[in-house]
């Protein structure tokens, strides 16, 4: 067993870390405060291949696989959760769904501009009545000649208002249910009838946009059916499975940043005549962070390896997301405590990190859904079915 990163990944991590420190960090506070997407960073990231890290170079990607993608998400998550969210939703689920199930023509037409960062992607699954119960979507797609006509609305769509391409799930046969009755489509967002409803005013990740996307008689050519007709639910679930590993990687970065920040602060901050880092009540908290962070790092990169070597990874990816988001939340919760009143101040990064961390327990499948995924996979070999 060799746990060392191949050298190209070591160099890649150094590059992304420099990029995050020098280009992402200076904007992190402002984009949160001003509630705006850091387009200037996205443009710079695209120029370095960072909008298509996991995909092969023949599709405009960087050729870094899931390993490279998790490394980037860890390094971005360490500096700015908003930026990680914009690039993560674009790459990890939107472009990923086309990479996984798109035809060669679809990959050339849609994945290439996404992976090279010329267009931003969004992943259209959630609806007002279909969150955890993703199969309960109401958006419909009705065949009309060489087109499908989409009607309905998606909510809480990351990048929804800035995307050029959205992969969207719609009901094509209500009688067949999730498996058979739902189809995935690639929607170009300049198609007439596609519009943006409300934008969410969120607690955290305010440097990313979250939009309501409305489909009103949106005509999508039949060539844009993504994956097999009627198998859209599977396409979307496969994309989410992979997305969970990288989401966990971003959480790993957030947790790491919390620990590093606490170490720096507690070595400098003196109370009772000594650095507070020498107080057991403080260093126990930091030691607990370190233990959880290392455990998280192990599962993240092992899962990335499973994905890159085409091995089963659903259970592990669910652990990445579940454990990652909770480790990040626990570390940042402690970081606020360690920083005291400073950690509660809006002028300091800790408060932003605290708000940013919370979403990871919710989006891309709540942690409760992850526990269902995990339990289903644990009990299935014994013939026991876990109901959703």
Partner 1 sequence: MKIIVLIKQVLDPAGILIRRDKEKMFINREEYIVGPDSKAALEAALQLKDAGGAEVIALSLGKPRADDALREALAMGCDAAYLLNDEAFAAADVPVTATVLAAAIQKLGGADLVVAGRESGDTGAGQIGSRLAEALSYAQVTDIHALTGVPGAIQATRRWGGGYAAVQALLPAVVTVAPEAFPARYAHGARIMNAYREWQVTTWNASDLGLNDAALKPLLVFRGESFPQPLPVGEQVKGAPASAAHELITALKLQKAIG
Closest to partner 1 by CB, 12 or 156: 12
Give the residue with the Cβ less far from partner 1, 50 or 299. Answer: 50
130 bridge partner residues: 127
Cα 363 to the chain's mean position, in Å? 8
203 binds partner 1 (CB under 8 A): no
Label residue 166 exposed, middle or buried (CB < 10 Å: 0-12, 13-18, 19+). Answer: buried
**Distances in whole angstroms, Cα of residue 287 to Cα of each of 223, 248, 269, 283:** 54, 20, 18, 6
In this structure, what is the dihedral angle of CA atoms 329, 332, 333, 336, given to the nearest 10 degrees? -160
**Phi and psi angles of residue 192, each rounded to the nearest 5 degrees, phi first:** -55, 140
Is residue 49 at the binding interface for partner 1, with CB under 8 A as the rule?
Answer: yes
Name the 3-class secondary structure at 121: strand
Element (H, E) at 326: helix 314-339
- 356 membership: H or E segment, kind and range: helix 349-358
* Least distance from partner 1 to the Cβ atom of residue 41, Å: 13
Tokens in use for 287? 């030691």
Instruction: Quote the tokens at residue 316.
Output: 């592990």
Residue 57 binds partner 1, judged by CB under 8 A: yes
**273 backbone φψ class: left, alpha, beta (φ>0; ψ -120 to 50):** left
Tokens 């499948």, residue?
Answer: 365
Decide: is 18 part of the binding site for partner 1 (CB under 8 A). Answer: yes
Q: Does 26 bind partner 1 (CB under 8 A)?
A: no
**Alpha-carbon distance 241 to 315, whole Å?**
9
Q: Which is nearer to partner 1, 18 or 368 (CB)?
A: 18
Residue 296 CA to chain centroid, in angstroms? Answer: 16
The answer to whether residue 15 forms part of the interface with partner 1 (CB under 8 A) is yes
Among 53, 111, 231, 335, binds partner 1 (CB under 8 A): 53
Closer residue to partner 1 in complex, CB, 75/361: 75
* CB of residue 48 to partner 1, shortest distance in Å: 5
Which of 24, 42, 50, 225 lies at the binding interface for partner 1 (CB under 8 A)?
A: 50
| 66 catalytic per annotation | no
Is residue 7 near partner 1 by the rule CB under 8 A? yes
Give the number of residues in contact with partner 1, rule: CB under 8 A.
Answer: 19
**Across the chain, how many H-helices and E-strands are there?**
14, 10
Q: How far is the CB of 328 from partner 1 (least distance, A)?
A: 25
The single residue among 35, 36, 48, 181 that binds partner 1, judged by CB under 8 A, is 48
Strand partners, 184: 169, 226
Between 15 and 375, name the residue whose CB sits nearer to partner 1.
15
Nearer Cβ to partner 1, position 131 or 275? Answer: 275
Exactly one of 66, 316, 361, 364 is catalytic; name it: 364
Output the smallest distance, CB 20 to partner 1, in A. 11
Applying the rule CB under 8 A, the residues between 59 and 98 that interact with partner 1 are: 61-64, 68
Residue ranges with strand state E in 161-296: 165-171, 182-188, 194-199, 210-221, 225-226, 270-271, 274-275
User: Whose Cβ is closer to partner 1: residue 53's or residue 369's?
Assistant: 53
Q: Does 8 bind partner 1 (CB under 8 A)?
A: yes
Residue 237 binding partner 1, by CB under 8 A: no
- Say which residue the tokens 């809480």 belong to: 156
Eight-state DSSP code of residue 162: T
Backbone angles phi, psi at 51, to 5 degrees: -95, 0
By CB under 8 A, tell whether 47 contacts partner 1.
yes
Least distance CB 274 / partner 1 (angstroms): 20
Q: Does 19 interact with partner 1 (rule: CB under 8 A)?
A: yes
Provide, rounded to whole angstroms, the least separation between the CB of residue 46 and partner 1: 11
Q: Is 362 in the site for partner 1 (CB under 8 A)?
A: no
Minimum distance, C-beta of residue 44 to partner 1, in the bound complex (Å): 8
List residues with catalytic annotation: 364
Residue ranges in contact with partner 1 by CB under 8 A: 6-8, 11-12, 15, 18-19, 47-50, 53, 57, 61-64, 68
């Amino acid at each position: 067993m060799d746990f060392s990163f191949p050298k190209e990944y070591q160099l890649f991590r150094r590059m992304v870390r420099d990029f995050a420190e020098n280009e992402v960090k200076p904007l992190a506070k402002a984009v949160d405060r001003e509630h705006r997407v850091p387009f200037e960073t996205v443009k710079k990231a695209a120029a370095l291949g960072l909008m298509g890290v996991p995909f092969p170079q023949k599709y405009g990607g960087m050729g870094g696989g899931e390993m490279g993608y998790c490394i980037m998400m860890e390094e971005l998550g360490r500096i700015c959760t908003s930026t990680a969210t914009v690039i993560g939703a674009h790459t990890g689920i939107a472009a990923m769904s086309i990479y996984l199930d798109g035809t060669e023509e679809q990959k050339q037409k849609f994945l290439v501009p996404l992976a090279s960062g010329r267009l931003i992607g969004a992943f259209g699954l959630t609806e007002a009545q279909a969150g955890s119960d993703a199969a309960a979507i109401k958006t419909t797609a009705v065949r009309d000649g060489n087109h499908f006509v989409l009607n309905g609305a998606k909510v809480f769509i990351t990048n929804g208002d800035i995307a050029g391409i959205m992969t969207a799930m719609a009901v094509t046969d209500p009688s067949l249910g999730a498996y058979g009755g739902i189809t995935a489509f690639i929607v170009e967002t300049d198609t007439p009838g596609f519009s943006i409803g409300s934008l969410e005013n969120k607690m955290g990740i305010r440097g990313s946009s979250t939009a309501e996307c409305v489909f009103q008689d949106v005509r999508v050519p039949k060539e844009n059916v993504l994956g097999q007709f009627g198998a859209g639910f599977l396409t979307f679930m496969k994309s989410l499975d992979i997305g969970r590993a990288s989401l966990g990687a971003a959480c790993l970065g957030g947790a790491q940043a919390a620990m590093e920040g606490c170490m720096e602060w507690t070595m400098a901050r003196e109370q009772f005549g000594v650095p507070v880092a020498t107080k057991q009540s403080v260093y126990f908290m930091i030691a607990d962070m370190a233990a959880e962070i290392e455990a998280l790092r192990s599962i993240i990169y092992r899962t990335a390896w499973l994905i890159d070597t085409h091995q089963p990874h659903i259970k592990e990816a669910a652990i990445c997301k579940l454990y990652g988001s909770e480790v990040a939340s626990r570390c940042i919760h402690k970081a606020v405590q360690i920083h005291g009143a400073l950690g509660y101040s809006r002028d300091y990064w800790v408060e932003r990190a605290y708000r940013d961390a919370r979403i990871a327990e919710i989006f891309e499948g709540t942690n409760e859904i992850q526990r269902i995924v995990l339990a289903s996979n644990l009990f299935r070999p014994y013939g026991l079915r876990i109901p959703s």
